[in-house]
Structure 1
Amino acid sequence: MPSEFEMRKRNEKFVQDAREGKKPTHMSRQEKLAKRSPIGTWALGVIVFVVMGGVLFELARLIFL
């Protein structure tokens, strides 16, 4: 386990890097929420399934009928 001195040095370096505009190691909650997609992964999968299924059925109808 790092000593208190080492932890203070690491914390100071982290704060300095964050102030200089370098990317911190962990995103804040606001950044995570802003980066999140407004639609869930499962909902996107259902939409893609329905659209691609419709395209495949339409192609099959055009080719075989």
Structure 2
Amino acid sequence: MPTAFELRQRNEKFAKDARAGKNPTHLSRQEKLAKRSPINLWALGVICFVVIGGVVFELFRMIFL
């Protein structure tokens, strides 16, 4: 178990880092928005389905018909 002196030192270090902004615990709203994709996941799935499905059907048509 850490001593009171060690706890005080760790608390001071954490407080200093928090004041300096080096170790944020939660992302800011701007950072969350920057990480988001500009297109919804379902819309991306629909686009992939149309493109890949079109390629598959075209290959099927060329090979078997």
Common fold by TM > 0.5: yes
- Output the CA distance in 1 between the equivalents of 2:15 and 2:43: 38
Q: Whose RCO is larger (CA < 8 A, sep 6+)?
A: 1
Change (3 A) 1:60 1:21: same
State whether structure 2 residue 57 is matched by structure 1 residue 57.
Answer: yes
Match of 1:16 in 2: 17
Structure 1: segments with no counterpart, 5+ residues: 1-8
What's the RMSD between the two structures over aligned residues? Answer: 2.7
Q: Give the count of matched residue pairs.
A: 56
User: Which of the two has higher C-alpha Rg?
Assistant: 2
Aligned 1:24-63 pairs, distance under 5 A: 24-63=24-63
TM-score between the two structures when normalised by the length of structure 1: 0.67
TM-score between the two structures when normalised by the length of structure 2: 0.67
